[in-house]
Amino acid sequence: MKNIMRPTRRSILRAGAASAAVLAMPAYLRAQSQSVKIGILQPVTGALAQDGEFGRMGAEMAIKEINDSGGLKGLGGAKLEMVFGDARSNPEAGTQEVEKMQADGVAAIVGGFASPICLAATQAAARYDLPYIVDVGVSDPIVQRGLKNTFRFAPGFGIVTGFALDNLVKLNDGAGKPAKTVVLVHEDGLFGSGLAKLMQAELPKRGFEILETIAHPTPARDMSNVALRIRSLNPDLVIPSSYYGEFVLLARTMQQQRIRPKGVYAVLNGAASNYRFVKEFTEASNGIMDCNHWYDPRNPKALELKKQVEAQGKVFAYNVPLNYSCVKLLADAINRAGSADRPKIIEALNTSTFKDHIMPYSETKFVNGQNMGAAPVNTQVQGNDIKVIFPDTFADAKPQFPVTG
């Protein structure tokens, strides 16, 4: 059977439409066993379309892989069936899609991406005790509201900033404390402002002086003034938290204006650990560090996925392995629950010790819905590639700091 499936799988992958896999399968295969529907919620239109598209890709890859390798073992090989919902980059549409998925009888939902969407969607799902695995949604109230159905696999704000700060100190100490002054640049939405606030409170305690905090809107028409201020302040470190477009503008302008701080240490940045950025702006991106969601670079499965994605001419953004892992986590829970029954899946998630993910996380352990095994990593752009520099257990390169020497 595998041999028959192979060519189909490859050609479908090439077409980039894994969702069609279920349809493309011969009818008798589909009829073999019952399928379990799972909802994949991503914003694939509107302002967040780019991230939503990455997330969907990751989820589709996991579903396909599970189905191709014999389906859900705990349910006699039942197949996963994706019910996709476009959250249209706003919470109303996200809620409406959750209602639709509920009507479709999904066993659980994965995704959401943006915090406002996750907040609304988890709440809508909670009405039905519908298990919901948040993929990104960094805002911590998502898991702090006491919703029993809500699980977040990735680290939230609190974990990410704590990690980023600790490693910044480690990095600086390791190099003989060359950096003292900092300029924070952040987008003025929830994630950028939230990070800046935490940084402002924490950095001084760790011996850094914040010269200035610069907020900018998304989309920004012009980043030259931000660059100008950085030039006039001449900080040792620039800590930017922005989405892709704005950070690219900033990095380009900084290069053009010959602004070379000792380090650019980004946190949850949209571009600093993005292969497209590194490829297209080799010089501007070199040496930039980021603390972000990332895949485990030592995991062979992750590298295989990366190859697959890149073969399609697409970017292996962190959303891909993250959503891939979230779907695998869910499949594991369904297998252990032995049924698509929602309370059983929730129970299985609560007791999950899932390890078969491709993220740099330790064993999964949910405490009040937050995966305590989750952690971000520090990456640095080195020699046209993105390398993991912290933590040491996952690192595939040594940090280069200070960058300008």
Partner 1 sequence: MYSPAIIAEAVVNGLMAGAVYALIALGLTLVYGVLHIINFAHGALLTAAMFAVWVVYEAFGLDPYLAILPLTPLFFGLGYAVQRFVIGPASHGNDSNILLVTLGLSIAIENALLAGFRSDTRTLNTDYGFQVVEFGPLLLSKPRLIGFGAAILVTVLLWLLLSRTDTGKAIRAVAKEKFGASLVGIDVAHVYAVTFGLGCACLAVAACLLMPTFYVNPRIGQAFVLVAFTIVVLGGMGSIPGALLGGLFIGVVESLCGLFLGDSLGQIGIFLIFILVLLVRPTGMFGAKA
Partner 2 sequence: MTFRDIAPIVVLIALIAFVPAFITANTVLNFLVFTLIIALAAQGWNILGGFGGQFSFGHAAFFGTGAYAAALLQVRLGINPWVAFAIGTVVGAAVGWVIGYLSFRSGLRGSYFALVTLAFAEVLRILANAATFTGGAAGVLIKLDVRPGNFQFESRGAFFWIALALVGAVLLLTRWIERSRFGAQLVAVRENEAAAKALGVDTLRVKLGAITVSGAVTAAAGGLYAQYFLYVDANIAYGTWISVEVILAPIVGGLGTVFGPLVGAVALHGLGEITKLAAGSVPGIDLMVFGGLLVAAVAFAPAGILGLMRRSARSRGAARHA
- Which positions touch partner 2 (CB under 8 A)? 17, 19-20, 44-45, 49, 52-53, 84, 86, 90-92, 95-96, 99-100, 102-103, 116, 119-120, 123-124, 126-127, 139, 141, 145-147, 188-190, 192-194, 197, 215
219 binds, among partner 2, partner 1, none (CB under 5 to 8 A by kind): partner 1
Q: DSSP 3-state helix, strand, coil percentages of the chain (rounded to 5)? A: 45, 20, 35
- Identified binder of partner 1 from the candidate list 258, 300, 392, 405, rule CB under 8 A: 258
Distance, in Å, from the CA atom of 20 to the CA atom of 38, rounded to the nearest integer, reads: 15
- The helix/strand/coil state of 5 is helix
β-strands 366-367, 370-371 pairing: antiparallel
Distance, in Å, from the CA atom of 219 to the CA atom of 145, rounded to the nearest integer, reads: 31
Distance of CA 115 to the CA centre of its chain: 12
β-strands 385-390, 377-382 pairing: antiparallel
Helices (H) and strands (E) counted in the chain, each on its own, are: 16, 14
Q: Rounded to the nearest whole angstrom, what is the least distance from the CB of residue 8 to partner 2 in the complex?
A: 18
Residue among 283 and 392 whose Cβ is closer to partner 1: 283
Q: Rounded to the nearest whole angstrom, what is the least distance from the CB of residue 239 to partner 1 in the complex?
A: 15
**Which sign, positive or negative, has the C-alpha torsion 266, 173, 227, 260?**
negative
- Identified binder of partner 1 from the candidate list 121, 248, 267, 389, rule CB under 8 A: 248
Residue among 171 and 248 whose Cβ is closer to partner 1: 248
| Residue 303 is a binding residue for partner 1 (CB under 8 A) | no
- Identified binder of partner 1 from the candidate list 69, 200, 232, 404, rule CB under 8 A: 232
Segment near partner 1 (CB under 8 A); pick from 39-47, 67-75, 157-165, 167-175: 39-47
Q: Which of residues 156-195 bind partner 1 (CB under 8 A)?
A: 188
Distance, in Å, from the CA atom of 257 to the CA atom of 12, rounded to the nearest integer, reads: 46
The structure tokens listed for 119 are 């907040």
Q: Which of residues 275-294 bind partner 1 (CB under 8 A)?
A: 276, 280-281, 283-284
- Identified binder of partner 1 from the candidate list 8, 102, 255, 335, rule CB under 8 A: 255
Residue among 44 and 284 whose Cβ is closer to partner 2: 44
Distance, in Å, from the CA atom of 323 to the CA atom of 293, rounded to the nearest integer, reads: 11
Residue among 19 and 33 whose Cβ is closer to partner 2: 19
Residue among 49 and 175 whose Cβ is closer to partner 2: 49
How many other C-beta atoms are found inside a 10 Å radius of the C-beta of residue 247?
A: 26
Contact by Cβ (8 Å): 294, 273? yes
| Residue 46 is a binding residue for partner 1 (CB under 8 A) | yes
**Which sign, positive or negative, has the C-alpha torsion 154, 140, 210, 185?**
positive
| Residue 308 is a binding residue for partner 1 (CB under 8 A) | no
216 binds, among partner 2, partner 1, none (CB under 5 to 8 A by kind): partner 1
Distance of CA 372 to the CA centre of its chain: 16
- Helices 2-15 and 49-68 pack at an angle, to 10 degrees, of 170
Task: Kindly list the residues in this chain that would bind partner 1 in the complex (CB under 8 A).
Answer: 44-47, 49-50, 52-53, 188, 213-217, 219-226, 228-229, 231-232, 244-245, 248-249, 252-253, 255-258, 276, 280-281, 283-284, 315
